[in-house]
């Protein structure tokens, strides 16, 4: 059981590490460039080459049934679910087999609206409540994975 973090734009790296350390889990921070992280025997930094979806591919080919992926990338979340892993967004929203199809459809619609100029694509600010929800959701995901 491990936690895989799509780390390039992840706002909850510290929170994910706290949960991993509390449960003695290996945590992989996967990114396109080196990033400063605390020193911990639980952390494995994985720096992949630049390119579209290289970090996603690294995670998707290694994540397994007992694992948890932390990502806001909906296609990556879908790939992780297909591998049997759990997937969480940075705001604590779990991706599931029941909601991933709608998430993909909304992503595609948003992309289309931005391309046509119908939408500017503004994202809501990341809040303390989002951080708290993420911590709670990750803790629940770890507990669920341990029960399996």
pLDDT in tens, 96-146: 999 888 887 876 777 767 778 777 766 778 899 999 999 999 999 999 999
What three-state secondary structure class fits 114?
helix
Looking at the 3D structure of the chain, how many domains does it have? 1
Question: Which pLDDT score, from 0 to 100, does residue 121 have?
Answer: 66
CA–CA separation, 73 and 56 (whole Å)? 8
pLDDT in tens, 1-59: 999 999 988 999 999 999 999 999 999 999 999 999 988 899 999 999 998 899 999 99
Question: Which pLDDT score, from 0 to 100, does residue 28 have?
Answer: 98
What domain range includes position 36?
2-147
Which CATH number do you get for residue 110? 3.40.50
Q: Rg for the chain (alpha carbons), in Å?
A: 15
Treating both helix axes as pointing N-terminal to C-terminal, what angle do 100-115 and 74-82 enclose, rounded to 10 degrees?
A: 160
**Percent of the chain, pLDDT > 90?**
72
Helix (H) or strand (E) holding 70: strand 68-70
């Amino acid at each position: 059981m491990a936690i895989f973090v799509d780390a390039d734009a992840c706002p909850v790296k510290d929170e994910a590490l706290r949960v991993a350390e509390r449960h003695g889990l290996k945590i992989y921070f996967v990114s396109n460039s080196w990033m400063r992280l605390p020193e911990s025997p639980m952390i494995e930094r994985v720096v992949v080459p630049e390119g579209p979806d290289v970090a996603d591919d690294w995670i998707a080919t290694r994540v397994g049934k007992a694992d948890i992926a932390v990502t806001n990338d909906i296609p990556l979340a879908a790939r992780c679910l297909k591998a049997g892993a759990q997937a969480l967004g940075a705001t604590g929203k779990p991706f599931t087999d029941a909601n991933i199809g709608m998430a993909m459809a909304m992503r595609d619609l948003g992309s289309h609206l931005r391309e046509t100029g119908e939408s500017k694509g503004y994202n809501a600010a990341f809040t303390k409540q989002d951080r708290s929800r993420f911590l709670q959701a990750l803790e629940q995901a770890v507990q669920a994975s341990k029960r399996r």
